[in-house]
């Protein structure tokens, strides 16, 4: 999580194995300075300008420029009392655990980032939409919220600024579909988590039909540091055009699976070999999913690709959450893809036909191939599905995301699929 001389603002207060900083210790470490600075002498427009200039892009997966998203909210006086900020803390992307690290390790950082961000967009109510299974994060976040409220950093007339904010922790019942911001808002309203048609976008008509901004945990955790030290400093942390640091992760058969805060643009090779310690003895690298399960496979020729939004996209995948799933030479890629598609199929909300019916069909075909009961024509049917369930063919991005590892897997591991069919069994068993 730490090491070297590079700055790591997001994880500087995190002490593995220890309790997170309480509010008094957080204050002594410089905490809530951004809150005092923004509410004490900056206008909301100045905060938005600083975040925009920092090149902070959303850390939830899509990478949309944060300042631009904020600026899309209506600025009329009547709307100001009815705006919402929702923190996406649902984190159900397979292979992803970066937000959990931040919430459990430094909850006050997220609380401060939420208040400053709510001030910037003039939201009067904020919600942290938390994955229900994150019980420790819930306890620590609620304690941080209570401590902040007792200090006057939440509630009415914060620090005498005239700005009011109520912050609520909402423990979600869960569902992967809540990664879609509109489905999350529907769930937050107490309804079945189903995505909404866009436009209108949440910034215009979101929670209960009011202007709403949804941001990821890691995104908002960056905001206090940008306000404190400026956009130029934040851009200087990165190795490319995308500003700041990034919490990268690696899971799979590596020697040291985990998460590390590194400059945005750190290469895959450095993350894998220096921070994750390389592959375990007896295993060799074969491929990886760079940003969670819903991204396309990259292979050995891509190890020197910089892990930023533009570079990974040019390599044929997406940065996503920046948490890599490493595939070794002793793992059956057909079984791996079957497991992933099983997850996506059961997490479909069932709202649109291609996703509701297409994903279970894909899962059944992969199950048959994995069990040695597949036929060569099944590969053509799977390829057809990567188009039928692709971008623009479904109501939201769940099914297109599920097709990314399948489409690339059919190309990268074609021989493995064919051997399953020819041998009528899995060669790894």
Domain ranges of the chain: 23-236, 245-328, 333-423
Peptide bond into 199 cis (omega under 30): yes
- Rounded Cα distance between 308 and 267, Å, is 9
User: Hey, which bits of 270-331 come out as E strands?
Assistant: 285-289, 298-299, 323-328
pLDDT at 175: 86
pLDDT at 4: 40
- Count the Cβ atoms, other than its own, within 10 Å of residue 74: 13
Distances (CA, A) of 318 to 74, 128, 148, 221, 261: 31, 26, 37, 22, 19
Peptide bond into 144 cis (omega under 30): no
CB 242 within 8 A of CB 265: yes
User: Hey, which bits of 2-106 come out as E strands?
Assistant: 84-89
Listed residue (68, 145, 58) closest to 99, CA to CA: 58
- Rounded Cα distance between 356 and 349, Å, is 7
Phi-psi region of 55 (alpha: psi -120 to 50; beta: other; left: phi over 0): left
Structural element, H or E, at residue 382: helix 376-388
- Count the Cβ atoms, other than its own, within 10 Å of residue 407: 20
pLDDT at 240: 86
Structural element, H or E, at residue 262: strand 258-263
Cut 0.85: pTM above it: yes
421 token code pair: 């069919």
Backbone angles phi, psi at 302, to 5 degrees: -100, 5
- Count the Cβ atoms, other than its own, within 10 Å of residue 88: 27
SS3 for 405? helix
Backbone angles phi, psi at 365, to 5 degrees: -65, -45
339 token code pair: 């497991």
The fold of 333-423 is de novo design (two linked rop proteins) (1.20.1440)
217 token code pair: 């945990």
Q: Which CATH architecture best describes the domain 23-236?
A: 3-Layer(aba) Sandwich (3.40)
- Count the Cβ atoms, other than its own, within 10 Å of residue 366: 27
Q: How many CA atoms lie within 13 A of 308 on its CB side?
A: 20
pLDDT at 78: 61
Tens digit of pLDDT at every position of the chain (429 positions): 443 446 999 999 999 889 999 999 999 999 999 999 999 989 999 999 999 999 999 998 888 999 999 998 876 656 556 899 999 999 999 989 999 999 999 999 999 999 999 999 999 999 999 998 999 999 999 999 999 999 999 999 999 999 999 999 999 887 899 989 999 999 999 999 999 988 899 999 999 999 999 999 999 999 999 999 999 999 999 998 889 999 999 999 999 999 999 999 999 999 999 999 999 999 999 999 999 999 999 999 999 999 999 999 999 999 999 999 999 999 999 999 999 999 999 999 999 999 999 999 999 999 999 999 999 999 999 999 999 999 999 999 999 999 999 999 999 999 999 999 999 999 988
CB 23 within 8 A of CB 35: no
Show the CA angle centred on residue 21, arms to residues 19 and 26, nearest 5°: 175
DSSP string for 165-227: BEEEEEE----GGGGSHHHHHHHHTTS------SSSPTTTS-GGGS-EEEEEHHHHHHHHHHH
- Count the Cβ atoms, other than its own, within 10 Å of residue 364: 15
pLDDT at 61: 80
Q: Which CATH architecture best describes the domain 245-328?
A: Roll (3.10)
CB 238 within 8 A of CB 265: yes
| Count, residues in the chain | 429
Handedness of CA 196, 293, 3, 65 (dihedral sign): negative
């Amino acid at each position: 999580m730490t090491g070297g001389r590079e700055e790591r603002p997001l994880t500087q207060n995190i002490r593995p194995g220890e309790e997170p900083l309480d509010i008094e210790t957080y204050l002594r470490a410089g905490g809530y300075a951004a809150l005092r600075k923004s509410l004490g002498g900056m206008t909301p427009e100045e905060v938005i300008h600083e975040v925009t200039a920092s090149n902070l892009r959303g850390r939830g997966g899509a990478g949309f420029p944060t300042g631009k998203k904020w600026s899309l909210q209506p600025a009329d006086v009547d709307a100001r009392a009815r705006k919402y900020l929702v923190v996406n803390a649902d984190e159900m992307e397979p292979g992803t655990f970066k937000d959990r690290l931040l919430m459990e390790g430094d909850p006050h950082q997220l609380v401060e980032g939420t208040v400053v961000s709510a001030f910037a967009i003039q939201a009067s109510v904020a919600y942290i939409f938390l994955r229900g299974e994150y019980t420790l994060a819930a306890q620590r976040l609620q304690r941080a919220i209570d401590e902040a409220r007792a200090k006057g950093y939440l509630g009415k007339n914060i620090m005498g600024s005239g700005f009011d904010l109520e912050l609520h922790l909402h423990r979600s019942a869960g569902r992967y579909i809540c990664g879609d911001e509109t489905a999350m808002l529907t769930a937050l309203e107490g309804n079945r988590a189903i995505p909404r048609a866009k436009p209108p976008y949440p910034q215009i008509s979101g929670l209960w039909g009011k202007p709403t901004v949804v941001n990821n945990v890691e995104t908002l955790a960056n905001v206090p540091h940008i306000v404190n030290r400026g956009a130029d400093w934040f851009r200087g942390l990165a190795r490319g055009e995308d500003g700041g640091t990034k919490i990268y992760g690696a899971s799979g058969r590596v020697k040291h699976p985990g998460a590390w805060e590194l400059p945005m643009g750190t290469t895959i090779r450095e993350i894998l070999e220096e921070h994750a310690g390389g592959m375990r003895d007896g295993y060799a690298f074969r491929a990886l999913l760079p940003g969670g399960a819903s991204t396309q496979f990259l292979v050995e020729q891509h190890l020197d690709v910089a892990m930023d939004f533009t570079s990974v996209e040019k390599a044929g995948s997406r940065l996503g959450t920046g948490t890599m799933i490493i595939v070794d030479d002793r793992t059956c890629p057909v079984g791996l893809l079957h497991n992933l598609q099983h997850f996506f199929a059961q997490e479909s909300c069932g709202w649109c036909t291609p996703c509701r019916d297409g994903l279970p069909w894909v899962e059944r075909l992969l199950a048959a191939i994995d069990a040695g009961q597949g036929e060569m024509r099944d590969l053509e049917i799977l390829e057809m599905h990567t188009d039928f369930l692709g971008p623009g063919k479904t109501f939201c991005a769940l099914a297109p995301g599920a097709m990314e590892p399948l489409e690339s897997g059919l190309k990268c591991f074609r021989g493995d699929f064919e051997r399953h069919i020819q041998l009528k069994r899995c060669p790894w068993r």
